[in-house]
Amino acid sequence: MTFAIEDVDRIIEMAWEDRTTFEAIEFQFGLKEQEVIELMRREMKPSSFKMWRKRVQGRATKHEKLRSFEKGRFKCTRQKQITHNKISKR
């Protein structure tokens, strides 16, 4: 898939966020977890990619099925509303 620069930036941003699941990225952009990993590997410096992989590997908050809560999602009261984000409008 080919994405606009803004979309690639948003995918990377969502992938770095601890509480944004891979399922949310798939819902919004149609990329499965492995495709997100490939995009991150392609778009980031090798050292940044390794740091990200170490950070997200095994992290329960990156997978909906591994989360301890079932309904709703965490949202900080200081978090801005993101425009053009399908997830925030569900």
For 54-87, the pLDDT digits (tens) are: 988 877 777 666 555 555 555 556 555 655 566 5
The domain of 35 spans 5-89
pTM > 0.75: no
- The number of domains in the chain is 1
Residues ≥6 apart with Cβ < 8 Å to 37 = 53
How far is Cα 31 from Cα 22, in angstroms, rounded to an integer? Answer: 8
Predicted confidence band of residue 88 (pLDDT cuts 50, 70, 90): low
Reply yes or no on whether the pLDDT at 90 is more than 60. Answer: no
Residue (of 46, 48, 64) closest to 16 by Cα position = 48
Three-class DSSP category at 78: coil
Q: CB within 8 A of 53, min separation 6: which ones?
A: 37, 40
For residue range 7-53, what is the model confidence (pLDDT) as tens digits? 999 999 999 988 888 988 999 999 999 999 999 999 999 999 999 99
